[in-house]
Amino acid sequence: MAKLNIVKYGDETLRKVCRPVDKITPRTLTLLDDMLETMRDADGCGLAAPQVGVLRRIAVIEVEEGKPIELINPKIIAYAGEQQEQEGCLSLPGRWGITKRPKHVTVRAMNRKGEWFEISGSDLLARAFCHELDHLDGKLFIDEMVKELKE
């Protein structure tokens, strides 16, 4: 595995819409592994492929230590409730804000074997799903921010 460079705010890659993954290849699997290592090394709880310069619909999330979630071609299929909580981003270091997100989210995605699955989460996991899937559409948490927090 290798630690990847995290793209920072201002890089146009972060504002581009990602393409779907048509076929899961050894390169896809390596990217998933490298993204997970990179996210953990940076003390994050989520990382999307465009944040490492890859314009594919791939994200990794780990809000519970040792329980990573790999998402290929993810899509939010249901959401409910509302939460306003603090959010940050590995691509915008040192910047924090309050965002309005659903409290509960269900995502449909493929795993590394190409099998479709559904996963639901609340609170932090729901926020992470929304945050990372937004990255795949060229959106950043600052686009959803209702209040910026000063350090």
User: How far apart, in whole angstroms, are the C-alpha atoms of residue 2 and residue 38?
Assistant: 8
- Give the contacts of 139 (CB within 8 A, at least 6 positions apart): none
Catalytic residue IDs: 132
Edge-first strand listing for the sheet containing 83-88 = 83-88, 96-101, 145-149
Contact 52, 6 (CB under 8 A): yes
Q: Kindly list the distances between the CA atom of residue 51 and the CA atoms of 105, 133, 135, 137, 140, in Å, as whole numbers in the listed order.
A: 22, 12, 8, 12, 11
Phi, psi of 61 (to 5 degrees): -140, 140
